[in-house]
Amino acid sequence: MGKKIGIYPGCCFQGADVHNYDILVAFLKNMDLEEVLLDRSACCGGGVIDETNKLIVYGLNARNIALAEEAGVDLYTPCNTCYMIIAKTKLALDSDPKLKEKINEILAEEGLEYKGTATIYHTLNLIRDFIGLEEYKSKLKRKIEGVKVAPYYGCHVLAPNEVALDDPENPTLLKEILEPLGVEIVDGYKNEYTCCGYHASYTNPQQKEQLAVKPLEGAKEAGADLVATPCPLCHKAMDGHDEPIIQVLQLINVACGMTPEEALFHYNKTPVNLAL
């Protein structure tokens, strides 16, 4: 078994989306990483608990990070939003000793402490910094050829700037992760960086619908067969339309030798067909 990594299972890995958890576990296995499930972790707040109070968001996520630190691991989540919110919390606590002290006082009741030693990972920086691009490539067993793939980052890995995982003005990381899979990259398409709208799903479903189709249509216009996103929420918002979309982890799992069935393609609403 390889290196250990702490898994933060946010809401997109449970209930209706429990297959995302299986996709994640398969990916870790393919990368020869050992999963340490942070099973007492709690919801990051999803940008909704802020509507109750921001201090609660800091507290919840300081606790999530502290759980990883207690287990001696870094924290990894594939969800763009979880990543952004947890990374924002880390920034806030690391730059404000008073806030950190206040939160630690409350955490002490559960026997926990936020130290600030754990790194927050999302699939993008996990592959680049934790696994390493070369090591990642060495784990891939076959090429997925004959398919034109449009990378779709989603918002929260590129904004706000303080937590961006790549140069927001010319990101290349997703392409660097997808290219070794053998697929042909189609980027620079219309609405490549338009939001998927997921976070309006409840507050204004029409708004969500308006936005979700824009990157899909842009990608198709540019000749892509398939859109690939690292974010399970973007995927949820955009799946089910005419143009197929897939999670990057699913594609990686296939390139690591799994069948589309094993990579759980059948949970995608819009069918994804790869000629393997």
Partner 1 sequence: MKKIKYIARIKRYNPDTKESYWQDFPVEVEDSLTVLELLMYIKDKIDGSLTFRAFCRSAICGSCAMVINGRAGLSCKIQAKDKIRNGVIRIEPLHHLPVVKDLVVDQEPAFDKFKKIKPYLVPDPKKVPDSLNSESLVTPEEFKLYDKQTDCILCMACYGSCNALEGEEKYLGPFQLTKAFRFIADSRDGVDIEERIKLVEDHGIWDCVQCQMCLAACPKGIKPAEDILELRRIAKDSGEDNPGTRRAKHWFADVFATGQIDKWHLPENAFGDEVGKEMTKQLEEEFRARGLKEEEFGPQPFDGIEQFQKFLKRLVKEAE
Per CB under 8 A, residues contacting partner 1 are 11, 14-18, 39-43, 45-56, 59-60, 63, 84, 102, 106-107, 109-110, 155-156, 159-161, 167-170, 191, 193-195, 197-200, 202-204, 206-208, 210-211, 214
Min dist. Cβ of residue 142 to partner 1 (A): 28
Instruction: Classify burial at 151, counting beta carbons within 10 Å of its beta carbon; exposed 0-12, middle 13-18, buried 19 or more.
Output: buried
- Residue with the two structure tokens 């990686």: 252
Q: Which is nearer to partner 1, 30 or 229 (CB)?
A: 229
CB 187 within 8 A of CB 150: yes
Min dist. Cβ of residue 20 to partner 1 (A): 12
Q: Of the candidates 121, 52, 60, 71, which has an alpha carbon nearest to the alpha carbon of residue 93? A: 60
Min dist. Cβ of residue 124 to partner 1 (A): 16
Nearby residues of 58 by Cβ (< 8 Å), 6 or more positions away: 89, 92, 93, 99, 103
Min dist. Cβ of residue 85 to partner 1 (A): 10
Q: Which is nearer to partner 1, 92 or 252 (CB)?
A: 92
Min dist. Cβ of residue 171 to partner 1 (A): 10
Q: Which is nearer to partner 1, 18 or 276 (CB)?
A: 18
Alpha carbon of residue 124 to chain centroid: 8
Q: Which is nearer to partner 1, 200 or 228 (CB)?
A: 200
How many whole angstroms separate alpha carbon 198 and alpha carbon 209? 9
Write the DSSP assignment of 227-258 as a string of letters.
EEES-HHHHHHHTTSSS-EEEHHHHHHHHTT-
Q: Which is nearer to partner 1, 11 or 140 (CB)?
A: 11
